[in-house]
Every structure is written in structure tokens, then in C-alpha cells.
Amino acid sequence: MNQRIQRVRGMQDVLPGEVWKWRYVEQGLMHITAAFGYQEIRTPVLELAELFIRSVGETTDIVGKEMYVFEDRGGDILSLRPEMTASIVRAVIENHLLQQQPIARLWYYGPMFRRERPQKGRYRQFHQYGAEVVGSPHPESDVEIISMAWQLLQHFGLSQLELRINTLGNSETQQRYRAALVAYLEPHKDQLSPESQARLVTNPLRILDSKNEQDRAIVEQAPKIVDFLDDESRAFFDTVLSLLDRLSIPYVVDPYLVRGLDYYRHTAFEIVSTALGAQNAVCGGGRYDGLAALLGGKPFPAVGFALGVERLLLVLEAEDRFPAKPPVAQVYIAAVGEAPMREVALMLASRLRAEHIPTTVDLLRRSVKGQLREANRYGVRLVVIVGEQEWQQGMVIVKDMASGEQKLVAEATLVQEVVRRLRQETNES
């Protein structure tokens, strides 16, 4: 026997029994997106590796350790996208989107790839939903982005959420802060984890983000960026916070929250679920005014967030917020006996389907008992039983699966009757 081929580690099959949860989440996301008037953008899953190396940066885990990079047959160095912000900025520049309009409000949804150690809530192929406001330097856009992320999660009835926010200030503030942070950390260098020691040179802000216990203890005493803000940065942050107050969005200011990328400015935020354990960040975002210039475009301001869909699914599970599993079909047509009645079943199914009533028939030539068992498993509301005797009178039996009640219905009025019954039950529930 040939050896079985398995799926790639850290990548998941979404099976039919689970896919309805994805649909539920996707529909909810679309619903709220529509309320904000954002437009969808789709970009390729593959990009030149250079795009992420230049934007996200080699000193980050995402590019330094996690990115899938390969040489294609033509010798191009390509990469499976680990995130989509860089792709969007590339697309905005390449397609001159900001020449046609001064601002673009964009959303996206799709698979991202990072070669991380797989664990609960952390996969090598995962999905992000995200939104970006491109073209506005004003704090109202930061707040619109945050409120969109917040409302998306509220829509699902989640309660154990925490919005954490910080500011990184403008680039002058960041430079002064970085110098102060390095000056503080230098004397502790020997106590830092090897990773953080390396970051002291390459990307010191990322040390604030370290999960290492000993690093954390040192970071706790570190200078805070809020104490380094110049007037512009202070005013920007104050406006963001007061607008959040106006919108009644609760937040916690976390002075050590950073997005460890050089192009971030001002707002950085994260939404975590206290219902999750280790991988508790559902959503992260911030302002990235410095990115366009890194990609060789005319600079433009932008702010956005990315939400992990697998994590959102885990939170919904943890907070028990999924609705009831939808039935596979609403009507099952069971045929009694051999070919003639099975043909009738096919014909009736076709009529119901033409009216958009989700209908299933038996394809395994089973006994009536077997067919009823399948109907049950599919969770249908009605079974139409086509028997020779009744059919000769132009009648079929309609069985209500909830009450068990059976009724003779004339062929000519079947569609009408089914529609009426289904509507009735929907109103009752």
C-alpha cells in the first residue's frame, strides 16, 4: 500500500461539520464592514519577498524567522504573504489609488502564512480580516479603525474583551525614546535573554514586547514613551483617547504596548480576550505613516488593524456564542420502493429547489427507514414521503420532523404547503 499523504503541519482542513462556524463569522464581519462603508481589496497570496523584507523588516520574527520564502522556477525570490498591510500599501502605490481619491477605506480577508511552532491559536496558515484607512493623518481615522474592530467583536456578543492602547508618538519622539530605552537597558544587558540582547542593537522597542520572564522584570522599570511625547504626539494621543470616551469604548492604556516595526507612528492597539489562555490577542493594529516611503512611494498616512479569524473562532467557542448549527437541508424527499417513486422524488426535489428551498433526496437507494435516518441526521424540518398508493391519487405524505405529525398533501399544492410550513416554523422560532 502507498503511504498516506498528510496535510502540511500547522495547516488545517475545515471540514463540513465546522465550516458553518466560519460562514457565521464571515457573514458577521461582512455585516459590520458594510455599516462602515469600506471597500474590499484583494491582492495576490504570493509577493516578491523583498516587499516584506523592506516593510515588516528582517529584524522582526515575522520576516526573520517565520516567513515562507522560496525561489520560483524563473529565479524570483517569492514569499507567501505573512500579513497584508504591506501588500495593500504596495497595491495603493502601484495602482495610483490615492491619485483618484484623497482617501481610501479598505478591508480584506484571506489566508496568511507564517512558519511558527503550531499550537492552539497559532497556525502556519491562518486567516486575517483587516481594515485600513489610507490617506488621512488625523486621529479620527485611528478612532474609526479602533471602533470598527471593537464593533466587529461586539457584534458577536463577546464580553471578555480588553482594548489595550498606547502611543508611539511621531518619529522624533520615537528616536528620543529609543535612545533613552537603550541607555536604560545597556547596564542590564547581561540579564536580558539572548534574543533581547540582539534586539538591543537591531530593534530595541521589541524588547518591551518580550514574553521572557526575566526580560519582563527589567522592562517593568523601563522609561515609558508617554514621558517622552512632544506636544504634537501628546495632542494626538489625547484626541484619540477622548474620542474613544465619546464613543463609550472602554480601553486600558498599556505604556509598554508596541508594534515593533519602524514605520509605526502614534496609535498602537490590541484587543485581547480574557477568555483565551496563551494566544489571547484577537486583533492588533496601529498607525503606519512611515510605510509608503519605505516601499518607494510618495509618503502617505495610514492606519489599520488585522484580526485573527481562527482566534475569533476560539473566543466564540470559549464564550459559547455560536448559534445553533444550521440544518444541512430543510426538506428531505423519501421514496418508497423502486425506480418509479425515486423518479418522482427527483422531480419533486427539483421543483422545491427551483423555489430555493434546500432539499435533499436519497442517492444510495436506501430503504425508507434508512432515508428517514439520514433526514434526521441532516436536521431537516420536513420529510416528503412518496409512496405508490398515495401517488396514484396524486398525493404525497408530508411529515413534520419536530412534531412527528403526518399529513396528506396534493402534488399540485406541495410547493405552496412546504413554503407555508417552513415560514410558519421560522416565525415561531
Picking from 153, 170, 180, 56, the residue whose alpha carbon sits closest to that of residue 112 is 56
* Gap between the Cα atoms of 414 and 394, Å rounded: 11
Does position 126 bind ligand ATP by CB under 6 A?
Answer: yes
Kindly tell me which of 132 and 310 has the beta carbon lying closer to ligand ATP: 310
> Using the rule CB under 6 A, which residue among 85, 128, 203, 371 binds ligand ATP?
128
> Using the rule CB under 6 A, which residue among 163, 283, 292, 401 binds ligand ATP?
283
Print the binding letters for residues 296-315 with ligand ATP: x by CB under 6 A, - otherwise.
----------x-x-xx----
Kindly tell me which of 7 and 73 has the beta carbon lying closer to ligand ATP: 7
Kindly tell me which of 124 and 421 has the beta carbon lying closer to ligand ATP: 124
Total residues binding ligand ATP (CB under 6 A): 17
Least distance in angstroms from the C-beta of 283 to ligand ATP: 5
Does position 375 bind ligand ATP by CB under 6 A?
Answer: no
Least distance in angstroms from the C-beta of 199 to ligand ATP: 15
Does position 123 bind ligand ATP by CB under 6 A?
Answer: yes
Kindly tell me which of 115 and 176 has the beta carbon lying closer to ligand ATP: 115
Q: Which residue is closest to ligand ATP by CB? A: 308
Least distance in angstroms from the C-beta of 222 to ligand ATP: 19
Least distance in angstroms from the C-beta of 123 to ligand ATP: 4
Does position 114 bind ligand ATP by CB under 6 A?
Answer: yes
Which window, 44-52, 114-122, 133-141, 380-388, contacts ligand ATP (CB under 6 A)? 114-122
> Using the rule CB under 6 A, which residue among 222, 279, 297, 328 binds ligand ATP?
279
Kindly tell me which of 52 and 123 has the beta carbon lying closer to ligand ATP: 123
Does position 282 bind ligand ATP by CB under 6 A?
Answer: yes
Least distance in angstroms from the C-beta of 44 to ligand ATP: 19
Picking from 184, 190, 187, the residue whose alpha carbon sits closest to that of residue 225 is 184
Least distance in angstroms from the C-beta of 116 to ligand ATP: 5
Picking from 291, 244, 292, the residue whose alpha carbon sits closest to that of residue 271 is 244
Least distance in angstroms from the C-beta of 38 to ligand ATP: 18
Least distance in angstroms from the C-beta of 355 to ligand ATP: 41
Q: How far is CA 26 from CA 20, 108, 331, in A?
A: 10, 11, 26
Does position 83 bind ligand ATP by CB under 6 A?
Answer: yes
Which window, 180-188, 197-205, 238-246, 276-284, contacts ligand ATP (CB under 6 A)? 276-284
Kindly tell me which of 126 and 264 has the beta carbon lying closer to ligand ATP: 126
Q: Write out the residues near ligand ATP by the rule CB under 6 A.
A: 83, 114, 116, 121-123, 126, 128, 279, 281-284, 306, 308, 310-311
